[in-house]
Amino acid sequence: MKDKNLPPDINTSSLEDLTNQASQLIDLLENEKDLNNLTESYQKLLQLNNMIEKKFHKNLRFINEETKKKVKEIFKKHAKKT
């Protein structure tokens, strides 16, 4: 399923919320006895995993950009002192 087909609450959820939802689905999958009931839960788990990965990479890029900005500022301040 494409991201645009996911429920809106998944797109606006935090990484922590998505991780908690994934953990709950894993518990459900581990305890389910009827294999016919597993397909839908497994598909949702795959979707959640995809969203978690995308949000993680987005946050990682943001952190990298902010770090680069701060390092440049430090170098500029250091260059002015010397």
Walk along the chain (82 residues) and give the pLDDT tens digit of each residue: 445 555 555 567 888 899 999 999 999 888 888 777 788 888 999 999 999 999 999 999 999 999 999 999 999 988 887 6
Name the token pair of 12.
């606006």
Element (DSSP H or E) covering residue 82: none
Name the token pair of 26.
């894993």
pTM for the predicted model, two decimal places = 0.66
Asked if 50 and 5 touch (Cβ cutoff 8 Å), the reply is: no
Name the token pair of 45.
């788990």
Asked if 40 and 25 touch (Cβ cutoff 8 Å), the reply is: no
Closest CA to 18 of 42, 58, 46: 46
d(C-alpha 45, C-alpha 27), whole Å: 11
